[in-house]
Amino acid sequence: MRNWWLVLLLSLPAIASAGGDGGELPTVKLSPRNAPAAVSPLPAWRALTFLEQAMWATASSRLELGSCEHNRDLWCLEATSSVVSNQENIQLTAAAGGRLLERKRSSAGSDRRRKNWSYGLTAATRERQEPDANGNWRLTSSRKLPYPPGDLPVTDSIFLLVLAEPGRQAREFMVNTDMNFYRVTATAAGEDLIEVDADIDGSRDLRQVDLVALVAEPVEPLADKPDFNLLGLSGNIVIAFDRATGIPVQVRGKAPRIGMAELTLKSLERRDAKP
């Protein structure tokens, strides 16, 4: 689907509900859910960009992932999206492997707000801020989100672009959206041949891809209305990973008021690229 700027325009408010739980990050040995995992290598990509232009609008979404400057053992991911006058920024801090420590989300334009999540031993804390008449940010709500039973580490749906690796047995993840939690199962879903605009390895030809299907089951009771999505797409979500490099090159799912849609990679920066 070539006009995915329209997909992003309609789904921007839903894109990656993101990040606060007050208090310091844990520094002691914790339960299996919160215990530090073995350091996982970063993926082959450093940045992914989705971009589409139309006569009256330009929409873009860019993901950047690397080691955090303040702690090289942690992952820092920033996602920025914009459509016309609306902008959104999401910042994720996680243990290597995707276990969330902190998440921040800010939006600009007609609906300015900030949300912060921090992830403690047994619960996350979500805080929301809105500007007052003088433009000063004020806290409008704060809520504890107890973790569901079990030992699955809590992650963000964006990290599934890294964690839901193809060619592996079915895997389960615990994903926190805005206030809800979802148990997400990733399973192999076959292969395909797709056209990718991004220059992955010196060519823009058809790419052989391995498909991974995501099935999200809400952890009841939901704290808010159902809201699981990946890059604004919901329903039966499928990620296409380039077979040669393992880079995610397409996300398929249902877009609000449009139906089934495909978001295809437009450009990327590889981690091994020489300056």
271: left (phi over 0), alpha (psi -120 to 50) or beta: alpha
Residues 183, 217: contact at Cβ < 8 Å? yes
| Six-digit token string for 231 | 């890059």
Q: How confident is the model at residue 4 (pLDDT cuts 50, 70, 90)?
A: very low
Half-sphere exposure of 218 toward its Cβ, with a 13 Å CA cutoff? 16
pLDDT value at residue 232: 81
Residue 56 clears pLDDT 70, i.e. is over it:
no
Q: How confident is the model at residue 41 (pLDDT cuts 50, 70, 90)?
A: confident
Mean pLDDT of the chain: 82
Highest mean predicted confidence (pLDDT) among 13-22, 52-61, 67-76: 67-76
pTM of the model: 0.83
What's the pLDDT tens digit per position in 64-85? 999 999 999 999 999 998 765 6
Residue 157 lies in a domain: yes
Mean pLDDT in residue range 212-235:
92
Residue 152 lies in a domain: yes
Residue 253 lies in a domain: yes
% of the chain with per-residue pLDDT over 70: 77
What's the pLDDT tens digit per position in 156-191? 999 999 999 887 689 999 999 999 999 999 999 999
Instruction: State the residue range of the domain holding 88.
Output: 4-270
State how far the Cα of 91 lies from the Cα of 81, in Å rounded to an integer. 12
Residue 22 clears pLDDT 60, i.e. is over it:
no
Residue 155 clears pLDDT 90, i.e. is over it:
yes
Residue 275 lies in a domain: no
What's the pLDDT tens digit per position in 73-122? 999 999 998 765 667 899 999 999 899 999 999 987 667 889 999 999 99
pLDDT value at residue 20: 38
Q: In sequence order, which ranges of 126-270 are alpha helices (DSSP H)?
A: 160-163
Distances (CA, A) of 263 to 1, 5, 85, 142, 241: 7, 9, 21, 34, 13
Residue 31 lies in a domain: yes
**What 3-state class would DSSP assign to 159?**
helix
Residue 199 lies in a domain: yes
Residue 76 lies in a domain: yes
Total tally of structural domains belonging to the chain? 1
